[in-house]
Amino acid sequence: MRGTGWELPTPPLPRLEGRIEANVCVIGLGGSGLSALARLQKNRVRNLVGIDAVGVAAGAAGRNGGFLLAGPAHFHHRAVQTWGRAAAVELYRLTEARIEEMARRWPDLVDLRGSVRLPGSAAEADDIAAHHQALLDDGFTALPYAGPRGERGLLVPGDGVFHPAERCLQLADRVWDKGAWLYGGDPVEVIDGTTVRTAHGEVSAGVVLVCVDGNLQRLLPELDGRVQTVRLQMLATEPVAFGTAQHAMYHRSGLDYWQQRPDGRLFVGGCRDRGDGEEGDPVQEPTDRVQNALDTLLTDVVGVRARVTHRWAGLVGYTPDHLPIVEEVRPGVWAAGGYSGTGNVIGALAGEALADAVSGRPRHPLLDALGAVAG
């Protein structure tokens, strides 16, 4: 069956028609865009508009693996080697704190069951050992993992899983109730200065925040080359024995991943390196080649034979250095995206960082951490 296992009844948003004015227009109603709108409201910014090509959590924000992992896209030891210890440690601390905050704020959605990194080769086992030691060296909690079938890996107990689409729906309800206007059903055709135009309407805004991960470069062509759209695919099974996946499971450096939901279903994703055309300009549809590889992953690595009930894909943005884009790209136009497959946590921080930047608040610590990398 095609369709995401995260599906929820989502009321359609009204279509933007005619011309309206706003202090801030946020493009993208996923985790980043909705976090930006919530932060703007906290900062007492009024007259806010959010717009999405389809609707709330219609893109990768509602179609991802549902993992909450501390750190940026690079594992911690690689981040230290690439960006320096100070920046790497700060990025890890920021994301670790955000996961704890999300668990407090959405206790019914977030399960801090920890994440496990499993090796796909002897060389990766050595890399996991270096990853483990780097976390310990910088005061973070990490434990050796021994699985029920003799698997050895790394357990990060503070990581977790959640329902990404439900979180977005709850955020959308909150910002709507507090006065933000949300629109969907038409993609943005052009951003002209700080005027946002769709097929049927336009928003004349003081500031525009583009909070889009996949296909960010389509809206902002100046980012072409700095971010590339990548298709990530998943499947869901019928319920299986509880305890099949007690943690958020990462395999082959995150190319493969799976978790078990509270109702017993397995959500399995990855295998993009087994596909063809997964990078560049893919469509948000699953393909036979990757889905067949996911079937093999399910039986041969996860160790489960179960009926597959859903197959789906999502589009995300990857950057060459695996650092997110969180910056003003034109006068009055800011961008957040390029999370390189780990947007659930750092994407929320990025949306808030943009909101603080345009509402006269003190500089967000995420921008300081990213600035330390550049420095």
Distance CA 348, CA 352 (A): 6
pLDDT of amino acid 193: 97
In this prediction the pTM is: 0.96
**Does residue 303 share a domain with residue 168?**
no
- The reply to whether 246 falls in a domain is yes
pLDDT of amino acid 223: 97
- Mean confidence (pLDDT) of the chain: 96
- pLDDT tens readout for residues 64-117: 999 999 999 999 999 999 999 999 999 999 999 999 999 999 999 999 999 999
**Does residue 289 share a domain with residue 259?**
yes
Instruction: Say if residue 2's pLDDT is above 80.
Output: no
pLDDT of amino acid 239: 97
- The reply to whether 96 falls in a domain is no
**Does residue 169 share a domain with residue 311?**
no
- The reply to whether 307 falls in a domain is yes
Residue 1 pLDDT level (bands cut at 50, 70, 90): low
CATH code where residue 332 lies: 3.50.50.60
pLDDT of amino acid 185: 94
- pLDDT tens readout for residues 182-192: 999 999 999 99
Which residues span the domain enclosing 41?
A: 18-63+164-224+321-374
**Does residue 241 share a domain with residue 152?**
yes
Instruction: Say if residue 10's pLDDT is above 90.
Output: no
pLDDT of amino acid 11: 78
Q: Yes or no: say if 207 and 354 are a contact pair by the CB < 8 Å rule.
A: no
**Averaged over 327-341, what is the pLDDT?**
97
**Does residue 303 share a domain with residue 245?**
yes
- The reply to whether 292 falls in a domain is yes
**Does residue 195 share a domain with residue 253?**
no
CATH code where residue 297 lies: 3.30.9.10
Domain end call among 318, 333, 355: 318
**Averaged over 238-242, what is the pLDDT?**
95
- The reply to whether 150 falls in a domain is yes
- pLDDT tens readout for residues 77-90: 999 999 999 999 99
Distance CA 225, CA 118 (A): 32
Q: Yes or no: say if 318 and 228 are a contact pair by the CB < 8 Å rule.
A: yes
Residue 374 pLDDT level (bands cut at 50, 70, 90): low
pLDDT of amino acid 7: 82
**Does residue 346 share a domain with residue 311?**
no
- Percent of the chain topping pLDDT 90: 94
**Does residue 131 share a domain with residue 238?**
yes
**Does residue 311 share a domain with residue 176?**
no
- pLDDT tens readout for residues 173-182: 999 999 999 9
**Does residue 27 share a domain with residue 130?**
no
Distance CA 9, CA 1 (A): 17
Domain end call among 275, 292, 318: 318
**Does residue 333 share a domain with residue 303?**
no
The structural domain count of the chain equals: 2
- The reply to whether 126 falls in a domain is yes
- The reply to whether 303 falls in a domain is yes
**Does residue 267 share a domain with residue 195?**
no
Residue 375 pLDDT level (bands cut at 50, 70, 90): low
- The reply to whether 95 falls in a domain is no
* 72-76 long-range Cβ contacts below 8 angstroms, 24+ apart: 72/322, 72/323, 72/324, 72/340, 72/342, 72/346, 73/322, 73/323, 73/339, 73/340, 73/341, 73/342, 74/322, 75/117, 75/127, 75/131, 75/253, 76/131, 76/134, 76/135, 76/138, 76/140
